[in-house]
Structure 1
Amino acid sequence: MSRSSSTLHGNILTSEGWLLGELKMVDGRIAAIEGHLVDPADNDLPRFLPGFIDLHVHGGGGADTMEGGDAVATLAATHVRFGTTSLLATTMTAAQPEIRQVLDDIARYMDAPEPQAARVIGVHLEGPYINPGKLGAQPAQAQVATIAELDELLALAPILLVTLAPELSGHHDVIRYLSEKAVRVQLGHTLGSYEEGVEAMAHGACGFAHLFNAMTGLHHRKPGMVGAALAHAEYAELIPDLLHVHPGAIRTALRCIPRLYAVTDSTAAAGMPDGDYKLGAQTVTKCLGGVRLADGTLAGSTLTMDQALRNFVSLGLTLEEASHRLSLYPADFLGRHDIGRLSVGAQADVAEFDAELNLLSVHVGGSLVSGESYVSHA
Structure 2
Amino acid sequence: MATAARNASHVIVGRGVVAPGGILSPGWMEVAGDRIVGIGAGDPPRPADYDLGGQWLVPGFVDIHVHGGAGVAFGDGVEEARQVAAFHRANGTTTMHASLVTRTLADLEGEVRELADLVDDGLLAGIHLEGPFLSHARCGAHEPTLLRAPARDDVARLLEAGRGTVRMVTLAPELEGGLDAVRQIVDGGAIAAVGHTDAPFDVVTAAVDAGARVGTHLFNGMPPLHHRTPGPVAALLNDPRVVVEVINDGMHLDPAVVRTAVRAAGQSRVALITDAMAAAGMGDGRYRLGSLDTVVENGMVRLADGGSLAGSTLTMADAFRRAALDLGLDTAVAMASATPAQVIGARDVGALAPGNRADIVAVDDTFQLTAVMAGGAWVELG
Same fold (TM over 0.5): yes
Q: Say whether 1:33 aligns with 2:39.
A: yes
Q: Say whether 1:355 aligns with 2:360.
A: no
Structure 1 residue 371 displacement after superposition: 4.3
Structure 1 residue 139 displacement after superposition: 1.0
- Choose 223-232 or 81-90, whichever is displaced more: 223-232
In structure 2, stretches of 5+ residues that fail to align are 1-5, 44-51
Shift of the 34–247 alpha-carbon distance from structure 1 to 2, 3 Å rule, reads closer
Distance 1:182 1:112 in 2: 19
Distance 2:96 2:132 in 1: 20
Matched residue SS, 2:64: strand
Q: Say whether 1:247 aligns with 2:255.
A: yes
Matched residue SS, 1:342: coil
Matched residue SS, 1:82: coil
Matched letter for residue 325 of structure 1: M
Output one character per residue of 1:143-171: Cα deviation in whole Å (capped at 9) or x when no partner.
12133332332232201111000001111
**Among residues 53, 59, 66, which one is paired with 2:62 in the alignment?**
53
1:24 aligns with 30
Distance 2:347 2:278 in 1: 30
- Superposition map of 1:144-163 within 5 A: 144-157=149-162, 158-163=165-170
2:349 aligns with 339
In structure 1, stretches of 5+ residues that fail to align are 38-42, 114-118, 373-378
CA contact (8 A) 1:217 1:227 kept: no
Q: Say whether 1:130 aligns with 2:130.
A: no
**Among residues 169, 175, 186, which one is paired with 2:182 in the alignment?**
175
Structure 1 residue 207 displacement after superposition: 1.3
CA contact (8 A) 2:357 2:375 kept: yes
Output one character per residue of 1:297-354: Cα deviation in whole Å (capped at 9) or x when no partner.
1100001111111211332x11111111000000001122111110111111011112
Distance 1:200 1:105 in 2: 30
CA contact (8 A) 2:287 2:293 kept: yes
**Among residues 17, 31, 39, which one is paired with 1:12 in the alignment?**
17
TM-score (norm 1): 0.91
**Among residues 198, 202, 221, which one is paired with 1:191 in the alignment?**
198
**Among residues 98, 110, 116, which one is paired with 1:107 in the alignment?**
116
Structure 1 residue 109 displacement after superposition: 3.0
Q: Say whether 1:200 aligns with 2:211.
A: no
Matched residue SS, 2:167: strand
Distance 1:142 1:179 in 2: 21
CA contact (8 A) 2:28 2:42 kept: no
Output one character per residue of 1:50-80: Cα deviation in whole Å (capped at 9) or x when no partner.
0001111010000012222322111101111
1:216 aligns with 223
CA contact (8 A) 1:87 1:121 kept: yes
Q: Say whether 1:90 aligns with 2:96.
A: no
2:340 aligns with 330
CA contact (8 A) 2:174 2:197 kept: yes
Structure 1 residue 4 displacement after superposition: 2.6
Matched letter for residue 248 of structure 2: P
Distance 1:196 1:311 in 2: 33
Matched letter for residue 241 of structure 1: D
Distance 1:323 1:195 in 2: 32
Query: Identity across aligned pairs (percent)?
Result: 35
Distance 2:229 2:365 in 1: 45
